Amino acid sequence: MNDYYEDLGVSRDASPEAIKQAYRRLARKLHPDVNPGPEAEERFKRVSQAYDVLSDPDKRRQFDLGNDPYGGAHAGFGQGFSFSDIMDAFFGAGAGGPARGPRSRTSRGQDGLVRLPVELMDAVFGGERELTIETAAACGTCKGDGSQPGTGTRRCDVCGGRGEVQQVQRSFLGQVMTSRPCTACQGFGQVITDPCFECSGHGRVRTQRTMTIAIPAGVDSGTRIHLAGEGEVGPGGGPAGDLYVEVAVNPHPVFTRRGDDLHASLQVPMTAAALGASMKLETFDGLQDIDVRAGTQAGETITLRGLGVTHLRAGGRGDLIVHADVRTPTRIDAEQEALLRQLATLRGEEAPAGKLAAGGHGFMGKMRDAFKPR
């Protein structure tokens, strides 16, 4: 009985990976295509038999106990040693595995992604929008099977219904049999005898479909709405994929969104800012009274609680933050000018001394602070 460990040049406690690597190295060196001659061929058979024993846990255990795994028979290359064992040794498990067989004509359709513009009010309260998409739908004539009504399929004459054909190629290991999909039936194993006139045998057609999309309150640009089973119908009438609707919120002429808060600018006359006033502001919730306190400065804010955007995954709403835009008149008549000069005299501001303030805290600075990322 041969010493299989010695034939492969490995120790008796060698791991399966070490045994595989040793066999790969020797097989490349001793294969008859690379190293012709009776001596190398005999050595190649011994190495192959050694790998056959040591790569099989049961045979290796018998050999380690002093038994002949072949029951006294002198197995040559190919006895108890399959081509798939060689392929597994060189390329990993499954390389020499069984044929895949014919593939199904029916498969799941692709997912779709569309962009849906919505208004800011839809983001605040939610709403509904109609969406028209071009997609693949099951053919109404053949109901998805691709055959003209009243006909069917027949077994492929080229592959015999297996869906693949085999080809023998020569390699350094000798003749290797490989499989590839049959080009006559595209791997299905069956051929449609009379393809459907409507879909040309594909089982689906392109069509336009209009649907009503529910817009959840609180969505923002980039939010995706997942609609299961609303994507393309699969080949052969297979199940439809999913549809993802990506929301794009259009800019609003008055309100700017920051998180779930809304920001707006309120034009306040100079006199109202100085004396205080009650003003009205049109919001998404209707007219709201704004109390402008006396002495309001440009850029100061007034917060209206709960008038912002609805929280997407929680109750309640954000706030509406109103920025005071104090307006100084650019055109005044003589009477108004006289009154202002009288006021300046009373306040001692006929010739006010210039005074610098800390940078960034004027009106524009406060606006920048309000919109600065936190």
pLDDT of residue 3: 84
Q: Retrieve residue 195's tokens.
A: 């393809």
* The predicted structure's pLDDT at residue 215: 95
- Higher-confidence residue of 269 and 78: namely 269
Percent of the chain beyond pLDDT 70? 82
pLDDT, residue 133, reads: 92
pLDDT digits (tens, 9 = 90+) for 79-89: 444 444 454 44
Does pLDDT of 230 surpass 90? Answer: yes
Q: Give the pLDDT band (50/70/90) at residue 172.
A: low
Band of the pLDDT at 349, cuts 50, 70, 90?
A: confident
Q: Enumerate long-range contacts of 363-371, CB under 8 Å, 24 or more apart.
A: 363/298, 363/299, 363/325, 363/326, 364/299, 365/299, 366/298, 366/299, 366/300, 366/323, 367/299, 367/323, 370/263, 370/301, 370/321, 370/323, 371/256, 371/258, 371/263
Longest Cα pair distance anywhere in the chain, in angstroms?
127
Please say if the pLDDT value at position 75 is more than 60: no
CA 268-271-274 angle, 5° bins = 90
Backbone torsions φ then ψ of 302, nearest 5 degrees: -125, 125
Q: Which residues contact 235 (CB under 8 A, 6 or more apart)?
A: 105, 106, 107, 109, 202, 203, 204
Note the pLDDT of residue 55: 85
Tell me how far apart the alpha carbons of residues 212 and 342 are, in angstroms, rounded to a whole number. Answer: 65
Mean pLDDT of all residues in 141-145? 89
Closest CA to 46 of 91, 89, 15, 1: 1
CA distance 347 to 235: 84
